[in-house]
Structures are given as structure tokens and as C-alpha cells.
Amino acid sequence: RLLIMVGGVLNNFLLAIFIYAGMVWYWGEQYLPFTSATEGITYSETAHKAGFQDNDIPLMADGDAVRYFDSDQLKIAMAKEVKVLRGKKDTVTISIPDQFVLQVNSDLENGEPFMSCNVPTIVKATMPGTGAEKAGFQEGDKLVAVNGVATPSFTQFTEQLKKNSGKTIPVQLIRGEKTVTTQAEVDGDGKLGFEVLADVSKLFKTEQHSYSFFQSVPRGIEMGCSQLVSYVKAFKTVFSKEGAKNLGGFGSIGHIFPDEWDWYSFWSITAFLSVILAFMNILPIPALDGGHVLFLLYEMITRRKPSEKFMEWAQTAGMVFLIALLLFANANDIYRFFIK
């Protein structure tokens, strides 16, 4: 009976491992080291308040080495102590405040990442009839200043464009070995009308790890276990006031999928949701598998089953709690996306 009860939980977790193993076997893993961020690292306002400074290079989080943007950001946000390299040789230890990860999650929902690699503004293609085409932008042009203000990163570039919406302004760019200044017409939305080169592997030195079929299995297990541990640590924050505000429902689930279809993102998110389902389903709440396991363990220890009446009341209470939680999470989404 116990094996049957945990079967669903186990299958969810095994599915996540299977997906992760398949992903690393097919795509491998591409990492962007912190040290490869040649254009610098920008931290959010929340991170600045915690003690981070722009261009700090993270070294350790709670004594564990951190190296990569994609895989180590959550570890840094959840740490109590982070060691960074500031400047070229100063090592600084930052004590992370309580509830920091909750504020980071809240900022992320508003489109502000905790830390980001500064990406230069390099033209990939121009749109017909736009200011970029009229200004003569070419593929490979690196835009470095807007209206006399230096814009070393794409974020700073877009900020300056918004400040000059509807104007014709000088834009400085590097084309080959030459520096060129051209007049460009910014539209009312603060855009010039070009596609920026966003392929990290073409902009920075990345590390590519490939896996054989047999190597992918242990890596899939490692990724599944790591994701589960990270989620369990993050789940603890749900019981705080700030954590409850960050609960999300169907809207939040849909929000994590990219705007354009991408198989890698689809499978990555599917595996993550499988890990979440496995963990949530094993919680000792009546009406969930974890609740049934709890009552079965009681029966195994005491050698007697709980009464039918008690089980009926427990199941009802569990369902009421789950429905209330579902309504609360989706109400949070409605407030977050339509009212706030």
C-alpha cells in the first residue's frame, strides 16, 4: 500500500530526471562564467542595498564555490554569506539579509533580475522603414553612445533611447576599426527598430559540456536532486508574510514560459514542474499522497487504522485547505498582473 501511495510522487521525480538526462544528452550544457562577463555585471537595487556593487564577481556562497550565471544565481540569492572579488584583487564578504531571496523573486516578476551580464549593443538586423535603417546601421555595428552619453550595455542603451523618444539624435557606433557617428530617429516608444545580437556564445567565452548517453543519466539524477533541494529551501519562505505574497497560480505558471516557442525552455520548465509536483504531493496534507502516507505510517506504528469518521473529516479539511490555497494563489496572480 505504501509503494502504491508514493508511486505518483516517485513517477513525477523520475520523469524530471529522465527529462534532464535527455536534455544534457541532446543539447549538452552551456555555461557563462562570471569571469567571462567582459562588459561587466550589473546588480539590482535590492542587491545594492544588500551590499553588492556593480562588477562584483561572486566567488563563494556559504563556503561553496560559484562560477556560472545560469546555475549559481539562485544559490547566491539564498546564501547567508557571499564572497566576491571587488576590483582586481580585493575580496569582500557580504552578509545577506533575511528575506533577500523573496525580494529577488519579487523583482524578477517585475522584469528586474538580481544580477545580469552586461551585453553590448550589437546590431544583428534592421527593420524596414525604421530609424535604424534610415541611419544606415549595418550588421555587426556596436552602438556605444546615445546623444553623447556612453552606453556600454544594452540596458543603458535602451534607457537613453527612452529618454529621447520622438527625437532625432546622434548615435555613436564602432564599425570594424572605425568609430562613426550618425543621426538616428527614435520613435515614440523609444526604439530605433533593429534586432540586437543576443547569442551569448557569440558575445562571450562560454564553456560547453557534452555528455554521452551513459554520462547523461548520472547528470540527470544530479540535476533532479539539486533542483529538489533548491525548491525545498525556497519553500521555507512561503510561511513568511513576504513569501505568501509571492505565491502564484496558473498565471504565474504560464508567465515562466517564453514568448516564443523553444523546445529547450519547454523541457526545462516541464522537468522543473515535475519536481514541484513530486515535492508538493508528498507533503503531509490530507487529500494528497503525503497525507495518505502519514495515516498509513500511523497505522503501521499503532497497528490500528484511523476511524472512518476521522478519515472523512481529515479528507474534507485537506480539500478545503487545498482549494483555499488555490484561490489565494490565483488571487495573487490577478492582483499582480491586473491591479498592482
Classify the phi-psi angles of 148: left when phi > 0, otherwise alpha if psi is within -120 to 50, otherwise beta. Answer: left
Q: Measured between alpha carbons, how far is 339 from 158 in angstroms, rounded to an integer?
A: 26
Q: Which pLDDT score is estimated for 247?
A: 74
Residues 229 and 324 in one domain: yes
Residues 218 and 308 in one domain: yes
Q: Which pLDDT score is estimated for 74?
A: 85
220 close to 206: Cβ distance less than 8 angstroms:
no
pLDDT (tens, 9 = 90+) of the chain, 340 residues, equals 777 888 888 999 999 999 999 999 999 998 889 888 888 888 989 999 999 998 899 999 999 999 998 788 888 988 899 999 998 788 999 999 888 888 888 777 776 788 888 888 999 999 888 899 999 999 999 999 999 999 888 888 988 999 998 899 999 999 988 999 999 998 888 889 898 887 777 888 888 889 999 999 999 999 999 889 888 877 777 776 666 666 777 777 777 777 778 888 899 999 999 999 999 888 888 888 888 888 888 888 888 888 888 888 988 988 998 898 888 888 877 877 777 6
231 close to 275: Cβ distance less than 8 angstroms:
yes
Question: Which residue among 99, 116, 133 closes a domain?
Answer: 116
CA distances from 332 to 246, 249, 250, 329, 337 (A): 8, 8, 10, 5, 9
Question: Which residue among 171, 197, 223 closes a domain?
Answer: 197
> Could you give the residue ranges of the DSSP H alpha helices within the chain?
2-5, 7-26, 45-50, 69-77, 100-109, 131-134, 154-163, 200-203, 213-235, 241-245, 250-255, 263-281, 289-302, 308-334
Q: Measured between alpha carbons, how far is 24 from 221 in angstroms, rounded to an integer?
A: 11
Residue 177 is part of which domain span?
121-197
Residues 81 and 166 in one domain: no
Residue 203 lies in a domain: no
Residues 315 and 332 in one domain: yes
Determine the 3-state secondary structure of 90 from DSSP. Answer: strand
Number of compact structural domains in the chain: 3
Q: In CATH, what number is assigned to the domain containing residue 141? A: 2.30.42.10
Residues 80 and 164 in one domain: no
Q: Which pLDDT score is estimated for 214?
A: 93
CA dihedral of 316, 317, 321, 324, whole degrees rounded to 10: 60
Containing 57, the helix (H) or strand (E) segment is strand 57-61
φ/ψ of residue 157, rounded to 5 = -60, -50
Q: Which pLDDT score is estimated for 25?
A: 96
151: Cα separation from own chain's centroid: 25
Residues 229 and 251 in one domain: yes
Residue with grid cell 519562505, as numbered in its chain: 237
Please write down the HEC assignment for all residues of 164-196: CCCCEEEEEEEECCEEEEEEEECCCCCCCCEEE
Q: Measured between alpha carbons, how far is 296 from 276 in angstroms, rounded to an integer?
A: 23
Q: Which pLDDT score is estimated for 28?
A: 92
